A and B are shown apart, each in its own frame.
Chain A
Amino acid sequence: MSQRLPDRLLSAFSWACALVLTAGVCMIIGFLILKGGRSLNLNLIFADTRPWDAILLKRQVFGGLFPAITGTFLLILLSVGVALPLGLCSGIYLAEYASPKARSVFGFMVDLLAGIPSIVVGLFGFSITIFLHHFYNSRIYPCLLISALSLAFLVLPYIIKTTQNAIERIPLLTRLTAPGLGATKLQNVVWVLLPLALSDIASGVVLAIGRCAEDTAVIMLTGVVATAGVPKSLFSGFEALPFYIYYTASEYKGSAELVKGYGAALILLSICSMLFIFAHLIKMLIDRRAGIMM
């Protein structure tokens, strides 16, 4: 009967931990909703400008979140656009073409890249900018393009690892079927393996998108500014949602701005949550359609 005590303690301990964790997170989200819920309206995003004028880029928005949202959107588009092909190819190489030794070495490199603190990636982007500015073309400044490229470096490991894992998870029998019928390695990869791995790769891409949306450290050093309006070119400064939140927390001028900051935090949280749910749905949907047992 004395055996019951350790079990009861274990159960109590695990309940306590689960509750602490859940309570902590719910406090954070609840606090945001409480303080920022009332600011969630079109005025938060478009301020004094009429929404259609702003979206059609006929007029600038001042004091609203629209420029920051477009900045974040463009960042995601550019950085995932660069990281996706690069990551896909590397993942395929590591899963299919690399020798075990190469796999080990490159695998270590990818882990290293994944482990680099985001601020160091930002510092790298910044130093490349200065380097190019001095030696190549003095019209190169920290800008949207540099930020997007640095972010691409940041999310590359996500895409590489998910691609590699997705392809390696395919059962050996399935992987050998097409070559057994005479297909070349490339045909096997393109027509059999990739479609099978699609759902995992897709959720990896959505993970990368989420990372781009929320990162602040990299863009802080490579071109984001507090005020810029909607970005007009790849080579100009830009605003972004996470930087807006950080900036508001450090230097809000009165409770009106602070409430906008809460609203912005809620919007960013919602965007990231929706991406998370979207990734899950993709996995479920594609797996169901493919009818795969993996």
Chain B
Amino acid sequence: MSLKDKCAPAVFAGASFLCAAVTLCVLGFMVSLSLPVLKSGMLWKILTDSWSPDHGQFGILAMIVGTFYIASLSLIISLPISLGCSFFMQITHKGIAGRLLKKFVQFMTAIPTVVYGFVGVFLLVPLVRDLFSHGSGMSILTAALMLGLLISPTMILFFCASFERVPKIYTDAVDSLGATPFQKLFYVILPQAWPGVLTGLILAFGRAMGDTLVALMLSGNSIMLPSSLLDSARTLTAHIAMIIAADFDSIEFKTVFVSGAVLYLMTGCGILLARISGRRME
């Protein structure tokens, strides 16, 4: 073996180690920079208090709740639409119409997030404000509507992939027995593909939790614990974007890193869950 052949694996492995190191470093930085806060025993307070720097309160509870509300609502909005579209592409209209829709959905993944946010501010916000005659139009509902549209392509493409993975033997068998599309879907495809559907859901939820621009531009960013769909709310991601301008030594700033760590851990758990359910697919 020449020198190149001996060194190559080391170089390739080194690159992988570097990537893994970066992943861990991100978590490491978040946690270590939040340590001053953790040390003073304020962790519980930060996770449960309300945000009121004037009164010395730096709790991010409202932001955690805001993230959950907006992400969950966008999932609820997006799930039926995504399921319906994947049924369209895989079951009911498998021909030209289905292929066209698939290309369209793939194209949707290329649309920049900031464009969704921009159109949301000038099209959706006045619509919501006038429709419900309440509030400024910037609310959980507005953000969730746009976010639902944003995460749909992810879910649809994932659902389609898992439907396609159902062994052809099964679908051929049930077709030859004379099953209707509905029966095929309900009795064969869904039971086989549901781990894939679950994985897609979890991944989309992670994507929704991690999105910054749509929430920053459309949800109003108030610090109050939201109690209704039309309330203004702030997500962890928008909170980080807004607080970054504050000074670096204050507790206020250090809470950013706690927010970052919380986000990292939440999405990390999501990835873990997705992996486990993905393994069940195989």
Contacts and interface: CB of A to CB of B under 8 A. Distances in A.
Do A and B interact directly, with beta carbons closer than 8 Å? yes
B232 interface: no
A249 B241 contact: no
A265 B115 contact: yes
Nearest to A152: B22
B97 to A, nearest CB: 8
Contacts of B131: none
Given A123-B256, A216-B113, A245-B115, A97 B180 contact: no
- Name which of A28, A94, A126 has the most chain B CB atoms within 10 A of its CB: A28
B37 interface: no
Contact of B115 (A89, A269, A275): A269
Interface string B1-44: 11011001101111110111011111001100100000000000
Contacts, number: 250
B102 to A, nearest CB: 11
Interface in B246-269: 248, 256-257, 260, 263-264, 267-268
B170 interface: no
Interface stretch (B47-55, B82-90, B160-168, B222-230): B82-90
B interface: dominant SS: helix
Contacts of A204: none
A94 B16 contact: yes
Interface in A98-132: 98, 105-106, 108-113, 115-121, 123-124, 126-128, 130
A127 B29 contact: yes
Chain A contact-residue range equals 35 or more
Given A113-B23, A217-B241, A249 B88 contact: no
Contacts of B9: 93, 97, 185
A288 B114 CA distance: 36
B123 A27 contact: yes
A121 B26 contact: yes
A245 B84 contact: no
8 contacts: A15-B88, A17-B83, A21-B81, A109-B19, A117-B267, A265-B119, A268-B115, A273-B110
Interface of A: 3-4, 6-7, 9-11, 13-18, 20-22, 24-25, 27-28, 31-32, 35, 85-90, 92-94, 96-98, 105-106, 108-113, 115-121, 123-124, 126-128, 130, 153, 156, 160, 184-187, 189, 210, 213-217, 220-221, 242, 245-246, 248-250, 261-262, 265, 268-269, 272-273, 275-276
Given A18-B88, A119-B210, A128-B29, 5 more contacts: A15-B88, A28-B116, A121-B26, A127-B29, A246-B213
